Amino acid sequence: MQTVIIIQGQGCLKSYLKKNSIYKTKKCKYISYTQINSQTAQLFKKEKIEEIVRSKKSEDYKEQFIVEYVNLIGTIGKNYNTKEWWASNIACKNRFTSQLSCLLHQFLDTAEAIKKKDFDYLFIINPSWVIISSLKDLAKSSIVNLICLNAFSKKWLHLVFVYFRKVAGVFYHIIRIYGRVCYVRIKLKKIPLKVKKQYYVIKTFIYNHSFKKNGRYQDIFFGSLPEFLKDKKNILIYACILGDYRKCIKNIKRCHNYIIVPIEFFLSLKNILTAAVEILFCKIRIEKDVFFFGYNVKEIINNEFLRTFNGIQFYQFLHYWSAKNLFKAVSVETFLLTYENNPWERMCEIAAKEHAPNTKIIGYQHTVVPQAAVNMFIGLQEADVAPLPDKILTTGQETKRIMEKFGSYNKNVIAPACGLRFEYLFNIPVLKRNRSGRILLALEGVEEVHRMVDYVIEELKEKRDYQVTIRTHPMLPWKYFKRKFGYNLAKISNFTISAEMSLKDDIEASDMAIYWGTTVALEALSMGRPVIHFDNGSLLSYDPLFKCNDLKWTVSKRESLVAKIEKIYKLSDEDFYAQRTSAQVYLKRYFYPITDNNLKEFII
């Protein structure tokens, strides 16, 4: 009988191999879900234990995975239709806050290896404990012996840590948010809200740079739309503050072109305490069996809820009470918000359905839709129960097409509008081709992007013909990466950090851009610069240009970056400009221009 050995920790693995010698005469293989160190790699090589390299999946498989995953979450949503469920990271499917899709992919890969039975001993190294109980069931049904080492202690150490961190986090947020409530009430006590007026509410986010030097407010997410609506509607900006809180409140107070109200203005201590109690004492557990590619994955989902302590973010959860109080305080004709199916959006939508049923809700898909953005798609089972906008407007026809392909939306819910955040792209000329050796490395505001940084530094640090400019996202400045990962660019003369405030200037100064999932890729391409997408090996692509093949190349950590760069440089001018023209056509479908007719889509 074949034997599967699940081992947590490479030290435990080495100890097991030393104590057991029977495997030396058998066919042995391993799968590792973390990067193994050089000593372990040498040990495997010495003992002739072969790695099972997970196969690269076809596009058909990836699309099937999306449909299965979206419908899995949709089925649970239909059966477990509660506020707490819709507030969870699992329900929203955001790739940056929920690991469930990765865990399911991990389970499928392991299940495939077990069912093939092409081994005598199979070592599974460092799988998440979330999937281990399901692997045990699979091994039993496949008549395979399973040994599990060191997993129990890992699980409970993690749960104890998460529990105390969650409780401490809730108490911290109670104090922090109530402090903001008091501060806002004192500083903005004279907000001129009128009960008899009907308001067009724009739910948005405010940064330090959302205000010009003259004090005027410029919306980062909705661009010129507020100005267009201003003469037609009573505009109320309802905002989360992501910049320096005191500085932003000061700017809000002296702003005269809009009425701006932070979400904390509509919260009370009772609301905050009620939300805290619900988070601490609610328990989300799936009772009915749910299937994914034919496997019962109920326990994987329940374990993930256990691992994340339900995975409900306190601040996003509070949007329900803030929005409820907003709808009670004023009459809201239209409620406009960004559309990504994030928990805070769904809390606002639930509050609107319950307390302002006549309010029209518009969701605006304001950014890109890569393949991995499964949060943008809803399953067939949840289409009629999930909290959703009455109308979803997209940046253009291409994003509408992607959302309708993978999501089961009701007819006529989605319509193309325009690219509000990308207005400047319609007014800049296409740049001439450059071959100067200058390369832009564009980062996004997530920690995982460090893998791309590691790869590019390793590939180009000795290549003095190339000058690399790293442009970071405002949410994660370079000092964060420097502190977290120990980067020292002082020792790498051909790498620098961008000093430009303008992305346009950085793109103009470069020959091409390297990216992972940032919208900079579309902006660079629209200006005529070729782009290189870094594939970090995830199942679903983070590439916002995954449907575009013109003037775009893809590189993985197993490939030579220099070879890709030189391939672009050696492309003939005829081929280069032909691809650029095709890319421009694609981008025109992705971002519609900002015209009065397109802006009228936001009035229903």
Range of lowest pLDDT (4-13, 54-63, 403-412)? 4-13
| Last residue of one domain, picked from the residues 417, 451, 483 | 417
Q: Provide the domain limits for residue 283.
A: 58-103+156-417
124 found inside a domain? no
Confidence of residue 24 (pLDDT cuts 50, 70, 90): low
Say if residues 378 and 409 touch (Cβ distance below 8 Å): yes
Q: Do 312 and 376 fall into the same domain?
A: yes
Q: Residue 524 is part of a domain; what is its CATH number?
A: 3.40.50.2000
Do 255 and 355 fall within a single domain?
yes
User: Do the domain assignments include residue 120?
Assistant: no
Split into its structural domains, the chain has a count of 2
Beta bridge partners of 346: none
Whether 498 and 585 share a structural domain: yes
DSSP 484-510: HH---GGG-TTEEE---S-HHHHHHT-
Whether 392 and 514 share a structural domain: no
343-385 pLDDT tens trace? 999 999 999 999 999 999 999 999 999 999 999 999 999 988 9
Q: What is the spatial distance between Cα 477 and Cα 496, in angstroms, rounded to a whole number?
A: 13
Do 206 and 312 fall within a single domain? yes
Check whether residue 463 and residue 554 sit in a common domain: yes
Q: Is the pLDDT score of 285 beyond 80?
A: yes
Question: Residues 424-432: what's their mean pLDDT?
Answer: 85
Residue 8 domain-assigned (yes or no) = no
Kindly state whether residues 397 and 446 are assigned to the same domain: no
98-154 per-position pLDDT tens digit: 999 999 999 999 999 999 888 888 989 888 999 999 999 999 888 888 888 866 667
Residue 558: inside a domain, yes or no? yes
In a domain, 138, yes or no: no
HEC assignment per residue over 86-116 = HCEHHHHCCCCCCCHHHHHHHHHHHHHHHHH
Domain-terminating residue out of 396, 417, 438: 417
> Would you say 78 and 103 are in contact if contact means Cβ atoms under 8 Å apart?
no
**Residues 363, 274 share a domain:** yes
Q: How far apart are CA 313 and CA 11, in angstroms?
A: 35
Q: Is residue 439 part of a domain?
A: yes
Average pLDDT over the chain, rounded to whole? 92
Question: What pLDDT digit, counting tens, does each position of 341-350 carry?
Answer: 999 999 999 9
Q: Are both 440 and 358 inside the same structural domain?
A: no
Q: Give yes or no for residue 173 having a pLDDT over 90.
A: yes
Is residue 215 located within the same domain as residue 72? yes
The amino acid occupying position 13 is L
Beta strands in 2-79 (DSSP E): 3-7, 28-32, 50-51
List % helix, strand, coil for the chain (3-state, nearest 5).
Answer: 50, 15, 35
Question: Each residue of 289-306: pLDDT tens digit?
Answer: 999 999 999 999 999 999
Phi, psi of 476 (to 5 degrees): -135, 90
* Residues 396, 444 within the same domain: no
Residue 196 in domain: yes
In this prediction the pTM is 0.91
Q: Are residues 444 and 541 in the same domain?
A: yes
Domain final residue pick, 417, 450, 466: 417
Task: Give domain status of residue 287, yes or no.
Answer: yes
